[in-house]
Amino acid sequence: MTNLKDLETRDKSNWCPGCGNFGIQTAIKQAIVNLSLDPANVVISTGIGCGSKINQWIETYGFAGLHGRSLPVAMGVKLANHNLTVIDVGGDGDGYGIGMGHFIHNMRRNFDMTYLVENNQVYGLTLGQTSPTSDKGMKGPSTPFGIIEDPINPIRLALSSDCTFVARGFAGDIPHLTGLIEQGISHKGFALIDIFQPCVTFNKINTYAYFRQKVYKLEEAGHDATNLGEAFARAGESEKLPIGIFYKVEKPTYESSDVGLKDGVPRAQVDISEIDVSEVEESFM
């Protein structure tokens, strides 16, 4: 039985007091406990950013990749051992900016993994530049007169990229977010959970109070998560902001379709005691 204490690391996080990442960290840990996952079989892959430091402070296996490159690493882990639970976590700059290509191709491939985007609508680590999801007009060091571009809508993007599980959570509602993460991990396929994550230092627009006023739960609004058209319409709402599961569908995963993976973990398919590696070893001497 895993409990929350098992997931605590010796070092404590250095996020700003009140950062939305604390809520996300708690929800990930709680979901691991609720699903009775063995931390030794969980890998958290991250990129670069304030939020990407999260796997330093959850006692599972982890890999800190390059900025925007956490998904290729997560994919590599899944290919090497698809029995592992793979969770990818990163910021909106990481996943919806520099990492956008990987995001789309991973949804298309439908690896069985969960992708959590800590969407604070700003570049936190580099001190407050606008990101691909910043609200139009937001001012920052990179846009002193306000950003003139329209933001990306990650939920609509995921829906149109054939993502098989598309959800949104709020870091200020930890029990609800925990439930979404549990469902995302249990889903057989690529699960996107975009998370409203207030950045208390650099984003003075999208605050806890802003989201508390605006969010409503899809499951309480009678939303049909099998209806792609309804999901797309709800994803476009801006007066009130829906959280919960927008859309969910079952499709074969990459690993269940790949000839090399169908018969089990590649490493376990080969009896290495039979292979003579002395010549290769010699070449490295």
Ligand X SMILES: Cc1ncc(C[n+]2csc(CCOP(=O)(O)OP(=O)(O)O)c2C)c(N)n1
Q: At its nearest, how many Å lie between ligand X and the CB of residue 209?
A: 20
Structure tokens that stand for 274 in this block:
């039979």
Map 182-230 to HEC letters. HHHHHCCCCEEEEEECCCCCCCCCCCHHHHHHHEEEHHHCCCCCCCHHH
**249 near ligand X (CB under 6 A):** no
CA 14 – CA 22 distance, rounded (Å): 10
In this chain, which residue has its C-beta nearest to ligand X?
91
Instruction: CB nearer to ligand X: give 2 or 203.
Output: 203
* C-alpha distances out from residue 263 to 268, 269, 271, 275, Å: 10, 8, 14, 20
Q: At its nearest, how many Å lie between ligand X and the CB of residue 189?
A: 24
41 Ramachandran zone, left/alpha/beta (phi>0; psi -120 to 50): alpha
The site for ligand X, by CB under 6 A, has a size of 17
**91 near ligand X (CB under 6 A):** yes
Of 78-86, 88-96, 144-152, 259-267: span binding ligand X (CB under 6 A): 88-96
Instruction: CB nearer to ligand X: give 89 or 245.
Output: 89
**86 near ligand X (CB under 6 A):** no
Of 75-83, 90-98, 101-109, 270-278: span binding ligand X (CB under 6 A): 90-98
By the 8 A CB rule, do 92 and 70 touch?
no
Instruction: CB nearer to ligand X: give 124 or 244.
Output: 124
13-52 mask for ligand X (x: CB under 6 A)? -----------------------------------xxxx-
Hey, which residues does 114 pair with through a beta bridge?
Answer: 87, 191
Instruction: CB nearer to ligand X: give 93 or 242.
Output: 93
According to CB under 6 A, which residues from 95 to 124 bind ligand X? 118, 120, 122-124
CA 49 – CA 64 distance, rounded (Å): 10
What angle is formed at CA 159 by the lines to CA 89 and CA 99, rounded to 5 degrees?
Answer: 40
Q: At its nearest, how many Å lie between ligand X and the CB of residue 139?
A: 16
According to CB under 6 A, which residues from 179 to 198 bind ligand X? none
At 214, the amino acid letter reads K
Instruction: CB nearer to ligand X: give 70 or 253.
Output: 70
Structure tokens that stand for 84 in this block:
């592992």
Helix axes 174-186, 21-34, angle to 10 degrees: 50
Strands of 241-248's sheet in order across = 61-64, 42-46, 85-91, 114-119, 191-196, 165-170, 241-248, 215-217
According to CB under 6 A, which residues from 129 to 158 bind ligand X? 131
Of 36-44, 92-100, 101-109, 139-147: span binding ligand X (CB under 6 A): 92-100
Q: Rule CB under 6 A: which residues touch ligand X?
A: 48-51, 67, 91-94, 118, 120, 122-126, 131
